[in-house]
């Protein structure tokens, strides 16, 4: 099907924003606008004064922004990706060119300058989105307003189904007539009863089979987001509920229960997923979340039925919980994570989290834990983008460490770099593996 025929049949909010004609048209319009803003002038004042001033202003603002974000604020341990800083600089150049064209010009020219600057800004935003893949379509961009959640099903069923030894759940489950085609997504608080951690509300996916009677005791996947992030990112941006519904449609309504808790506390916060001076997040994910699940839901018990997964900082978090709470999680999925929890440098991390006591950090640092202890009963999936120059070397190091620790492990390389271009298809690809590790399917 051609792009034209797709455009004629799809709802416009489903038109792709990361590939196809739309981002290419935005790119052409943006570069064209930048060229016009810079060169379409006959005035000597423009060429001698305003254009150099606009260029210098854009360069100064770009340098200042880079210094503020990466050196002073430092919200990202690894710093902003180079392509992001490049497109920010291009956007600032477009805005500065538009601004320096405003004084002393006719109203029509001012409007054209504003439109030109807006197109350059749109181009830069589009290119960053293409690199990270946050919004593949308008529907995903509008998901916070379009998505609907339902009240969480907390009622317990008197009859349950669980597999006997040597069997998986799918082999003993019979889907009853009238089973819903899709699962439910709910938003609910999960209090930090033991940890004291003040978490934002979690998202919970319950598959169609959860609504059946007798109810199958389904495995649980705890899925955490990266940093910065929100608990709903896996639903609103990652569309994990759609992937789970598709999996359930192929397995008689069966899919894991997926709990998406908050491990950050706020969008920009980095808790390191540890118990430290910053927050007791390891206790939250290893005790409070499982306790809440068993109190409020009907789910399978035992480490073999529980897995933890995440991407970027969330992938590092999954690795940490798997080696520091192996009695809770029998398998983990680490997508594009780091080799260790970090706030930038080892010294900065140890100082902020443990008051400079490096021995406390070494006691929970996953690579050092694996160097001291073996995990023959833990399964690991490591996923990273082929062109992710920042995280691929770290993930390859983690893979070698989990193998040396005796884990059953695999390393999968995905097309793309660091972002939802890897995370979104990555979770789809790994759902069968997660289901196998947790005893759902053979």
Q: Is the dihedral of CA 149, 154, 160, 165 positive or negative?
A: positive
346 and 354 Cβ atoms separated by less than 8 Å? no
User: What pLDDT is recorded for position 180?
Assistant: 94
Largest CA distance in the chain: 85
Residue given tokens 């192929």 in the structure block: 250
- Please spell the DSSP secondary structure of 279-328, one letter per residue: -BHHHIIIIIHHHHHHHHS-B--SGGGEEEEEETHHHHHHHHHHHH-TTT
pLDDT of residue 203: 98
CB 305 within 8 A of CB 216: no
Q: Distances in Å between the alpha carbon of 191 and those of 202, 281, 353?
A: 10, 12, 22
What HEC string does 33-88 produce?
HHHHHHHCCCCHHHHHHHHHHHHHHHHHHHHHHHHHHHHHHCCCCCCCCHHHHHHH
Strand segments, DSSP code E, in 358-402 are 379-385
As given in the structure block, the two tokens for residue 341 are: 């929890």
The answer to whether residues 251 and 441 touch, using CB atoms and an 8 Å cutoff, is: yes
Do 396 and 371 form a contact (C-beta atoms < 8 A)?
no
Q: CA-CA distance, 163 to 173, in Å (whole number)? A: 8
Structure tokens at 346: 């080892």
- SS3 of 108, please? helix
- Kindly list the domain boundaries of the chain, sorted by start residue: 3-132, 152-437
Q: How far apart (Å, rounded) are the C-alpha atoms in residues 314 and 225? A: 5
φ and ψ at 439, to 5 degrees? 80, 20
pLDDT value for 8: 52
Residue in the block written with tokens 């002073």:
72
Residue 39: exposed, middle, or buried by beta-carbon count in 10 A (0-12, 13-18, 19+)?
exposed
**Would you say the pTM of this structure is higher than 0.75?**
yes
Predicted local distance difference test score (pLDDT) of residue 368 = 97
* pLDDT tens across the length of the chain (442 residues): 455 555 555 688 888 899 899 999 999 999 999 999 999 888 888 999 999 999 999 999 999 998 888 878 877 777 788 889 999 999 999 999 999 998 878 888 899 999 999 999 999 999 999 988 889 888 888 888 888 889 998 899 999 999 999 999 999 999 999 999 999 999 999 999 999 999 999 999 999 999 999 999 999 999 999 998 999 999 998 999 999 999 999 999 999 999 999 999 999 899 999 999 999 999 999 999 999 999 999 999 999 999 999 999 999 999 999 999 999 999 999 999 999 999 989 999 999 999 999 999 999 999 999 999 999 999 999 999 999 999 999 999 999 999 999 999 999 999 999 999 999 999 999 999 999 999 999 9
CA atoms within 13 A on the CB side of 46: 18
**According to CATH, what is the number of the domain 152-437?**
3.40.50.1820
Closest residue by Cα to residue 382 from 301, 436, 322, 305 = 322
The DSSP code sequence of 269-283 is: ---TTSBSSS-BHHH
The predicted structure's pLDDT at residue 143: 83
Instruction: State the Cα–Cα distance between residues 198 and 191, nearest whole angstrom.
Output: 7
Query: What number of residues does the chain have?
Result: 442
Q: Could you give the CA distance from residue 293 to residue 329 in angstroms, rounded to a whole number? A: 14
Contact between 92 and 62 under an 8 Å Cβ cutoff? The reply is: yes
Q: Which pLDDT value is given to residue 206?
A: 98
Q: What torsion, rounded to 10 degrees, do the Cα atoms 207, 136, 227, 75 define?
A: -170
Rg, the chain, Cα only:
25
Residue 146 has what pLDDT? 82
Going by their DSSP bridges, the two strands 257-260 and 202-206 should be labelled as antiparallel
């Amino acid at each position: 099907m051609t792009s034209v025929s797709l455009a004629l049949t799809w709802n416009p909010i489903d038109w792709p924003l990361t590939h196809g004609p739309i981002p290419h048209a935005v790119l052409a319009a943006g570069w064209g606008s930048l060229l016009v803003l810079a060169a379409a002038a006959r005035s000597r004042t423009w060429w001698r004064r305003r254009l150099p001033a606009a260029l210098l202003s854009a360069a100064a603002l770009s340098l200042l922004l880079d210094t503020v974000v990466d050196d002073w604020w430092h919200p990202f341990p690894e710093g902003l990706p180079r392509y992001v800083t490049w497109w920010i600089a291009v956007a600032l150049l477009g805005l500065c060119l538009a601004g320096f064209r405003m004084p002393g010009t006719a109203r029509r020219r001012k409007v054209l300058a504003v439109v030109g600057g807006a197109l350059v800004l749109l181009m830069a935003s589009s290119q960053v989105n293409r690199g990270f893949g946050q919004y593949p379509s308008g529907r995903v961009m509008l998901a916070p307003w379009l998505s609907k959640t339902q009240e969480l099903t907390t009622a317990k069923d008197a009859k349950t189904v669980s597999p006997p030894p040597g069997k998986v759940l799918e082999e003993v489950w019979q889907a009853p007539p009238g089973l819903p085609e899709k699962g439910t997504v709910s938003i609910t608080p999960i209090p930090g009863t033991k940890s004291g951690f003040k978490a934002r509300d979690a998202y919970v996916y319950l598959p169609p089979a959860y609504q059946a009677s007798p109810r199958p005791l389904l495995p649980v996947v705890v899925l955490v987001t990266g940093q910065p992030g929100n608990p709903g990112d896996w639903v609103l941006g990652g569309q994990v509920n759609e992937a789970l519904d598709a999996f359930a449609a192929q397995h008689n309504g069966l899919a894991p229960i997926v709990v998406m808790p908050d491990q950050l506390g706020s969008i920009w916060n980095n808790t390191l997923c540890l118990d430290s001076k910053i927050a007791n997040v390891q206790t939250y994910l290893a005790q409070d979340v499982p306790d809440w699940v068993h109190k409020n839901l009907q789910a399978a018990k035992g480490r073999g039925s529980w897995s933890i997964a995440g991407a970027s900082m969330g992938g590092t978090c999954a690795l940490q919980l798997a080696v520091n709470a192996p009695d809770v999680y029998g398998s983990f999925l680490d997508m594009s994570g780091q080799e260790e929890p970090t706030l930038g440098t080892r010294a900065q991390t140890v100082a902020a989290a443990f008051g400079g006591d490096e021995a406390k950090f070494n006691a929970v640092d996953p690579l050092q834990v694996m160097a001291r202890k073996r995990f023959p009963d833990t399964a690991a999936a490591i996923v990273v983008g082929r062109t992710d120059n920042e995280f691929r070397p770290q993930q390859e190091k983690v893979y070698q460490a989990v193998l040396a620790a005796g884990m059953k492990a695999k390393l999968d390389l995905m097309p793309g770099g660091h972002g939802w271009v890897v995370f979104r298809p990555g979770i789809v690809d790994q759902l069968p593996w997660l289901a196998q590790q947790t005893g759902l399917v053979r």
